[in-house]
Amino acid sequence: MVETIWQVLLILIKIVVILVPLMLGVAYLTYAERKIIGYMQVRIGPNRVGPRGWLQPIADAMKLLMKEIIVPSNANRFLFVIAPMLSLGPALAAWAVIPFGDGMVLADIDAGLLYVLALSSLGVYGVIIAGWAANSKYGLLGAMRSAAQMVAYEIAMGFALVGVLMAAGSLNLGAIVRAQAGGVLHWFWLPLLPLFLVYFISGVAETNRAPFDVAEGESEIVAGFHVEYSGMAFAVFFLAEYANMILIAALTAIMFAGGWLSPFAGIPVLGAPSLLWLLAKTAFFLFFFLWFRATFPRYRYDQIMRLGWKVFIPLTIVWLLVEGVAIMARVGPWFDHAAAAAGS
């Protein structure tokens, strides 16, 4: 009994060790976003609170904590309150299977990839329920857009992940990284280039980020699904969106860019696999999220649907066929050992 309690305590400590840096990462991602987009638009960005504006995210969080949460009249109170939590919960729970290094993972489960896919598909409930429960037409429109968009891009995302599991021969995220051992050219981004691009763009669409942010679409529907939310309830949606962004970036790094493996394999010191490589790759992909937002105008809604259903899904299916042929032909250096593993 005492042993069980210790185990539970150990797991709780591990969860805190993962979540606290994640929350700090979310806070400073908002700062990085404002600074990077600021410089891209030839302005300076936040620079008043603390040295160089470093305390700006803390100030923002304090301000949101102090604000009143207003529940609109005729809103469904229970669903209105629970919606932000439903949005944040899956975004945090998915981190349980993310491997930060060889064996550095909270839950080393066999079907890790499926688990991540299942949880990222749950995030849409927070958005739909928020839009419906608030009893606001803008909220409902945003929820509808978001639901259609997420269902469309989830399929392309799932197919891209099928390609990854074909190449790695495993659904375990740690095993997927280990299957990419070798230099930059051994990582899966090269043989799975179309799937890599589809996955990343679908990831941007799933997180409702620009240029796919029609669920918020300020110019048309005010703020979309969270138009009626204020204070901390709004902040929780914000947290979920940014935690999802970091999650998608980390997953892209793990599945297509070798996770914790070093790009300079074979060179002493630099070639050692490390958590820092995973963080650097995640930051690299996160930069693209911010860069997209500063660069592209918002997509038209029918074009988003067309891109998801009529471009991405056929593209991934074709590339799965190509990949299957490559695995059968044992094209090196990626598929010679994967085929052997699948055959055993």
Partner 1 sequence: MTFEKFVFYVFALITVYAAFRVITVRNPVHAVLHLVLAFFSSAGIWLLAEAEFLGITLVLVYVGAVMVLFLFVVMMLDVNLAPLREGFVRYLPVGGAIGGLMILEMSLILASRHFAAAKALPPHGPHYSNTRELGALLYTDYAYPFEIAAFILLVAIVAAIALTLRRRPDARRQQVGEQVRVRRQDRVRLVAMAAESRSAGPAEEEGS
Give the total of residues touching partner 1 (CB under 8 A): 27
Nearer to partner 1, 68 or 302 (CB): 302
Nearer to partner 1, 186 or 306 (CB): 306
The neighbour count for residue 287, using CB atoms within 10 Å, is 14
Nearer to partner 1, 36 or 160 (CB): 160
Nearer to partner 1, 59 or 148 (CB): 148
Query: What does R_g of the chain's alpha carbons equal in angstroms?
Result: 21
Q: Which of the 8 DSSP states describes residue 189?
A: T
The neighbour count for residue 123, using CB atoms within 10 Å, is 25
Q: Among residues 125, 287, 292, 309, which is the contact residue for partner 1, using CB under 8 A?
A: 125
Burial profile 3-20: b = 16 or more Cβ within 10 angstroms, e = fewer:
eeeeeeeeeeeeeeebee
306 binds partner 1 (CB under 8 A): yes
Nearer to partner 1, 25 or 169 (CB): 169
On whether the CB atoms of residues 32 and 59 are closer than 8 A, the answer is: no
List the x/- string, 213-242, binding to partner 1 by CB under 8 A.
------------------------------
The neighbour count for residue 307, using CB atoms within 10 Å, is 20
Q: How far is the CB of 114 from partner 1 (least distance, A)?
A: 4
On whether the CB atoms of residues 316 and 163 are closer than 8 A, the answer is: yes
Span of 36-44, 124-132, 217-225, 256-264 interacting with partner 1 by CB under 8 A: 124-132
Kindly identify the residues of this chain, within the stretch 144-203, that bind partner 1 according to CB under 8 A.
144, 147-148, 150-151, 154, 171
Q: Among residues 122, 162, 294, 315, which is the contact residue for partner 1, using CB under 8 A?
A: 122
The neighbour count for residue 85, using CB atoms within 10 Å, is 12
Q: Among residues 269, 302, 321, 343, which is the contact residue for partner 1, using CB under 8 A?
A: 302
One-letter amino acid of 186: H
239 CA to centre of own chain? 12
On whether the CB atoms of residues 226 and 146 are closer than 8 A, the answer is: no
Binding residues (CB under 8 A) for partner 1: these are 4, 79, 109-111, 114-115, 117-118, 121-122, 124-125, 128-129, 132, 140, 143-144, 147-148, 150-151, 154, 171, 302, 306
